[in-house]
Amino acid sequence: MYKETGRININVAGIVSDLGRREDGRAYIVIDNETIYVKHSSVSLLNKVKQGQYIKMDCYIDSGKIFATNII
């Protein structure tokens, strides 16, 4: 974990148990019971992820929520 430009960058790894969009339009991926949000600019990540797959992602923490940026 390291801090860059005012946000904390982390790696998240685990089994994908759910993915999709909520009623408010927010995309998300659930990895080991932790919700990882996907901003509109990174929504193409959902096409690369499958339920039940082991995945490792670059993420960052912003306002107490985890947001995905890339698949490692």
pLDDT, tens only, 1-40: 666 567 788 999 999 999 988 888 889 999 999 999 998 8
pLDDT the model gives residue 3: 61
The answer, yes or no, to whether residue 52 has pLDDT greater than 90, is yes
pLDDT the model gives residue 35: 94
Question: Strand, coil or helix: what is 47?
Answer: helix
| Domain map (residue ranges) of the chain | 2-71
Residues 40 and 25: beta-carbon distance below 8 Å: no
pLDDT the model gives residue 5: 62
Task: Out of 3.20.10.10, 2.40.50.140, 3.40.50.300, 3.30.460.10, select the CATH number for domain 2-71.
Answer: 2.40.50.140
pLDDT the model gives residue 21: 87
Q: What is the average per-residue pLDDT within 42-61?
A: 91
Q: CA geometry: angle at 5 spanning 64 and 45, to 5°? A: 65
